[in-house]
Structure 1
Amino acid sequence: MTAALDGLLGRMTMYRLTLTLLLILTVEALILSVAGLLAFTPAEIGGTLVAAVGGTIIGTRLMALILRLRPHSESSLITGLILFLIMFPSGTGAGLGGILAAGVAAGASKFLLAVRGRHVFNPAATGAVVASLLGVGVAGWWVANAYMLPVVVVGGALLLYRTRKLSMAAVFLVVAVGILLYGLVQNGMMPGAGLQLILTSYPVLFLLGFMMTEPLTLPPLRWQQWLVAAVVGVVVALQPSIGPVFLGPEFALVLGNAVAFALGQRRGVRLSFAGRRQLTPTSTELVFDTERPVRFRAGQYMELDLPHRGADGRGSRRVFSITSPPQRRTAVTFGLRTAEPGSSFKNALLDLPDNARITGTLVGGDFHLPRDPAVPLLLVAGGIGVTPFISQLRDLAERGERRDVVLVYAVRSEQEIAFRDELTGLATRVVLFMPTSGDAPALPGGWILAGAEPTADSLLAVVPDLPRRKVFISGSPSFIGRLRAEVRTAGVSRVRTDAFLGY
């Protein structure tokens, strides 16, 4: 089931998935209002929708026009719909004007409160905070109601699963729900009734699934995300006030965003394009010189920022796994797939002239090998998913560290084997899975051709001690879902995964 879910979600960008789920919530809200199941009339719901979305589009396009940048339409709609679901609906001119102002502030904040092209604060939360501080509007978080709860739960769960933020969600829920439930029980409410009240009346699930999962405002490391989740959870649950200002969930998220920014890498990495080499007919490795040494751990990624003409809806930032070892301090390399119809970003990246300058805005990721060299490892790569493992294997070679490592490498054809000569030089034990017809291909000494597709049985046949190995899987979401199920069937209890899921 997880493989099918990974395959389905992997075909949608995060923007498209989030927008789809928000549109479903919006349609549901309109239907509930018409049916008289919400406390707001259809006119109030409709007016609030137009004001929130319209204001966000105005703020976004105005700032984009001033700064001569291309606005991101899907992002604007997402922000506007979130505002619609959290701002207190109104049918008056003044009320709708306040919601419109919140939308304008939300759209503008993506440009005004940004560092290196990356906005620091969640735009919808920022718009609600600005409206509250100006006294023109208030966030009512009316999306938290019993009728909309099922869609919020399912939608939030899909977003958390897609972004691999389930552990962050657990921290937030334990902290926020724990504190809220303790307070209700102390006031005489039964635990079951208290939990029901929290889930149907407090916006913890919507805040978590639809707003805290925004990749651009999260810190890069898992423990940092846990810390931010705990901070937001405490503020949401305690509901403090500073003078006359009540710190609602929107203030809690903005505070969490500030903590995330403080934890993240705040200085850009200046990169100078130094060359490229063709890895396979469908993949390339790019080389960049660095002005200053770049600190990272093998297996991490870097977000690249490349403003360019004609940028499409995916924007000017993309994440790529680093293939160079950490010891190579004056240059950094990235491997990427180039066969499919390219985005405007990838086309611009591949067309860079020599010595062209770009910026690395973020180094992050927790896809690390265990520090204990005695732990036996199984690395499973699908296609260009081998890139983080190349960095890790290069790192081991640089440090002269010998480990019990088996690389399971699944490719579509012999021509798609990337880093073939280097893997041979590193004396890596490679188990290759590849469809064949006719004679078996000529492989380097020590390599094993184990079949067309890795399955539990075929993996155990070539790696009998698989259940005692620590397993790492890298590749597309569908590949990861399929292989995770196979290695678990083979007896592996815990699997670490690394997938580029996009924004």
Structure 2
Amino acid sequence: MTAVLDGLLGRITLYRLTLTLLLVLAAEALVLSVAGLLAYTPAELGGTLVAAVGGTIIGTRLMALILRLRPHGESSLITGLIVFLIMFPSSTAAGLGGILVAGLAAGASKFLLAFRGRHIFNPAAAGAVVATLLGVGAAAWWVANAYMLPVVVVGAALLLYRTRKLSMGAVFLGVALGILLVGLVQGGMAPGAGLQLVLTSYPVLFLLGFMMTEPLTLPPLRWQQWVFAAVVAVVFALQLSVGPVFLGPEFALVIGNAVAFLMGQRRGVRLSFTGSRRLTPTSTELAFAPAKPVRFRAGQYMELSMPHRRADSRGSRRVFSITSAPQQSDTVTFGLRTTESGSSFKKALLDLPKDARVTGTLVGGDFRLPRDPSVPLLLAAGGIGITPFLSQLRDLAARGETRDVVLVYVVRGEQEIAFRDELADLGARVVLFLPSGGDVPPLPGAWTHAGADPTAGNLLAAVPDLRRRTVLVSGSPRFIEEFRSAVREAGVPRVKTDAFLGY
């Protein structure tokens, strides 16, 4: 089931998925308004939608024009729709003016409230905060209502799953619901009624799924994301006031963003393209020179932003695993699958001229080796899933650290073996799985051919001590699901995974 879901979600970028879900919510709201099921008229919602989206687009494009930058269209629409769903709807000139200010501030905040090319605060939350502090508008978070709850639940669940932030969501819900329910129960409400009230009247799920998962304002590591979620939950649930200003959900998120900013990559990464090389008939490695050394840990990824003409549905931002070692300060490399049917983004990457500029918008990921060097490891790569492991093996070599590592490498054919020379030079013990048929090609000394498929029996035959090893798996959702099933059948209870969605 997870492989099917990963396959479906992998066909669309996170930005396009978020935009689609928000458009569904906006359309549903207008239908509910026409049916008389919302407290706001179609005129109020229509005017609010135009002011929120229009203000955000104007604010974004104006600042981009002043700073001579290219705006991100999908991001502007996402921000504008969120502003629409959280600001108090109105049809009066004053009310719409306040919403317009919130949209303008939201769009401009991506450039003005930024540090070295990386914005600090969730734009929609920042816009609502600015409008509130100026006294021209207020956030009502009217998206939190019983009629829209089912769509919000599904949308939040999809976004949390797509971004692999389910554990962060659990922390937020545990803290926020706990505090809110304790207060309601102490006030005399039954726990069940209190939970129903919270879910239908508080924007718990919308805030979590549609705003807290915004990638550019999240800290990079899982434990940092838990801290971020807890901070937002506490401020949100305590419903505090500072003087006349009520610290609503928008303030809670902005405060959490500030904490996240202090923990994460605090600047955008400016990269200059230096060259590429073909790894296999279907994969390529790209090399870039960073303007300043990039801080990352072996196994992490970077999101690249490259606005380009005729961008397809996957957009102008993509995530790629880093293949270089953290110690290689003058070069950052990425390995990616490249086929004729690839995305417009990948095609634009492959057509980059020398010294072309690309922006790395975030560095993150928890797909890292255990800290304890005595833990024996089995790294399983399906095709281009080899990329994070190459960075990790290069890192071990650069630090002179010796570990008991077995690399299981599953490819479709001999020509699809990427980084063969590098793996041989690193002295990696590789267990190779190739499709049946034909002779097995000559292999480096530390390599063995273990069969056509990584079944439980083949794995145990090739790696007899498999059960005592910590297993990390990287590749397509289907490969991960199949390999996880095989090692579980072999007696390994848990594996750590790194799914390449849409690769």
Residues 485 and 139 (structure 1 numbering): CA distance in 2 closer, same or farther, change over 3 Å? farther
Report the counterpart of residue 377 of structure 1 in structure 2.
377
Contact persistence 2:72–2:307 (CA under 8 A): no
Unpaired segments ≥5 residues, structure 1 = none
Q: Relative to structure 2, which stretch is displaced further, 155-164 or 53-62?
A: 53-62
Q: Does the alignment pair 1:8 with 2:8?
A: yes
Query: Deviation of residue 293 (structure 1)?
Result: 5.3
Q: Secondary structure at the match of 1:299?
A: coil
Q: Secondary structure at the match of 1:171?
A: helix
Matched to 2:180, the amino acid is L
Q: Relative to structure 2, which stretch is displaced further, 286-295 or 135-144?
A: 286-295
Q: Does the alignment pair 1:334 with 2:325?
A: no
Report the counterpart of residue 175 of structure 2 in structure 1.
175
Report the counterpart of residue 367 of structure 1 in structure 2.
367
* Distance (Å, rounded) in 2 between the aligned partners of 1:453 and 1:66: 56
Q: Does the alignment pair 1:75 with 2:80?
A: no
Q: Deviations over 1:18-46 (max 9, x none)?
A: 11111222222222222222222222222
Q: Relative to structure 2, which stretch is displaced further, 206-215 or 385-394?
A: 385-394
Matched to 2:61, the amino acid is R
Query: Deviation of residue 156 (structure 1)?
Result: 0.3
* Distance (Å, rounded) in 2 between the aligned partners of 1:468 and 1:168: 29
Report the counterpart of residue 157 of structure 1 in structure 2.
157
* Counterpart mapping for 1:48-447 below 5 A: 48-267=48-267, 274-288=274-288, 294-304=294-304, 318-340=318-340, 346=346, 349-350=349-350, 362-447=362-447
Query: Deviation of residue 87 (structure 1)?
Result: 1.2
Q: Relative to structure 2, which stretch is displaced further, 157-166 or 431-440?
A: 431-440
Query: Deviation of residue 120 (structure 1)?
Result: 1.8
* Distance (Å, rounded) in 2 between the aligned partners of 1:290 and 1:105: 31
Residues 189 and 49 (structure 1 numbering): CA distance in 2 closer, same or farther, change over 3 Å? same
Report the counterpart of residue 26 of structure 1 in structure 2.
26
Matched to 2:337, the amino acid is R
Report the counterpart of residue 39 of structure 2 in structure 1.
39
Query: Deviation of residue 256 (structure 1)?
Result: 1.2
Matched to 1:172, the amino acid is F
Query: Deviation of residue 162 (structure 1)?
Result: 0.5
* Distance (Å, rounded) in 2 between the aligned partners of 1:305 and 1:37: 41
Q: Secondary structure at the match of 1:407?
A: strand
Q: Secondary structure at the match of 2:144?
A: coil
Report the counterpart of residue 475 of structure 1 in structure 2.
475
Matched to 2:243, the amino acid is G
Residues 431 and 170 (structure 1 numbering): CA distance in 2 closer, same or farther, change over 3 Å? same
Query: Deviation of residue 5 (structure 1)?
Result: 0.6
Query: Deviation of residue 210 (structure 1)?
Result: 0.5
Matched to 1:214, the amino acid is E
Matched to 2:138, the amino acid is V
Query: Deviation of residue 385 (structure 1)?
Result: 1.6
Matched to 1:5, the amino acid is L
Q: Relative to structure 2, which stretch is displaced further, 221-230 or 303-312?
A: 303-312
Query: Deviation of residue 424 (structure 1)?
Result: 2.5
Residues 125 and 146 (structure 1 numbering): CA distance in 2 closer, same or farther, change over 3 Å? same
* Distance (Å, rounded) in 1 between the aligned partners of 2:288 and 2:75: 30
Contact persistence 2:12–2:313 (CA under 8 A): no
Q: Relative to structure 2, which stretch is displaced further, 387-396 or 52-61?
A: 52-61
Q: Secondary structure at the match of 1:61?
A: helix
* Distance (Å, rounded) in 2 between the aligned partners of 1:6 and 1:434: 25
Query: Deviation of residue 128 (structure 1)?
Result: 1.2
Query: Deviation of residue 452 (structure 1)?
Result: 4.4
Contact persistence 1:72–1:313 (CA under 8 A): no
Residues 327 and 23 (structure 1 numbering): CA distance in 2 closer, same or farther, change over 3 Å? closer
Query: Deviation of residue 68 (structure 1)?
Result: 3.7
Q: Deviations over 1:453-480 (max 9, x none)?
A: 4444544454454343211122234443
Q: Secondary structure at the match of 1:409?
A: strand
Contact persistence 2:16–2:313 (CA under 8 A): no
Contact persistence 2:70–2:307 (CA under 8 A): no
Matched to 1:139, the amino acid is A
Residues 259 and 314 (structure 1 numbering): CA distance in 2 closer, same or farther, change over 3 Å? farther
Q: Deviations over 1:166-206 (max 9, x none)?
A: 11111111111111111112212222221121111111110
Matched to 2:42, the amino acid is P
Please tell me the root mean square deviation across aligned C-alpha atoms, in Å: 2.9
Residues 64 and 149 (structure 1 numbering): CA distance in 2 closer, same or farther, change over 3 Å? same
Query: Deviation of residue 357 (structure 1)?
Result: 6.5
Matched to 2:71, the amino acid is P
* Distance (Å, rounded) in 1 between the aligned partners of 2:47 and 2:289: 53
Residues 69 and 356 (structure 1 numbering): CA distance in 2 closer, same or farther, change over 3 Å? closer
Query: Deviation of residue 246 (structure 1)?
Result: 0.8
* Distance (Å, rounded) in 2 between the aligned partners of 1:368 and 1:490: 23
* Distance (Å, rounded) in 1 between the aligned partners of 2:357 and 2:15: 28
Query: Deviation of residue 354 (structure 1)?
Result: 5.6
* Distance (Å, rounded) in 2 between the aligned partners of 1:117 and 1:341: 32
Residues 403 and 28 (structure 1 numbering): CA distance in 2 closer, same or farther, change over 3 Å? same
Contact persistence 2:9–2:501 (CA under 8 A): no
Q: Secondary structure at the match of 2:22?
A: helix
* Distance (Å, rounded) in 2 between the aligned partners of 1:317 and 1:7: 19
Unpaired segments ≥5 residues, structure 2 = none
Matched to 2:237, the amino acid is A
Q: Deviations over 1:340-363 (max 9, x none)?
A: 556666556545566667665544
Q: Secondary structure at the match of 2:278?
A: strand
* Distance (Å, rounded) in 1 between the aligned partners of 2:313 and 2:115: 20
Query: Deviation of residue 338 (structure 1)?
Result: 3.3
Q: Deviations over 1:64-114 (max 9, x none)?
A: 333343333222221122112111222323222222222222222223223
Residues 291 and 216 (structure 1 numbering): CA distance in 2 closer, same or farther, change over 3 Å? closer
* Distance (Å, rounded) in 1 between the aligned partners of 2:291 and 2:272: 8
* Distance (Å, rounded) in 2 between the aligned partners of 1:208 and 1:15: 16
Count of residue pairs brought into register by the alignment = 503
Matched to 1:430, the amino acid is V
Contact persistence 2:6–2:501 (CA under 8 A): no
Query: Deviation of residue 127 (structure 1)?
Result: 1.5
Residues 63 and 477 (structure 1 numbering): CA distance in 2 closer, same or farther, change over 3 Å? farther
Residues 344 and 120 (structure 1 numbering): CA distance in 2 closer, same or farther, change over 3 Å? farther
Q: Relative to structure 2, which stretch is displaced further, 440-449 or 182-191?
A: 440-449
Q: Percent sequence identity over matched residues?
A: 80
Q: Relative to structure 2, which stretch is displaced further, 39-48 or 300-309?
A: 300-309
Matched to 1:495, the amino acid is V
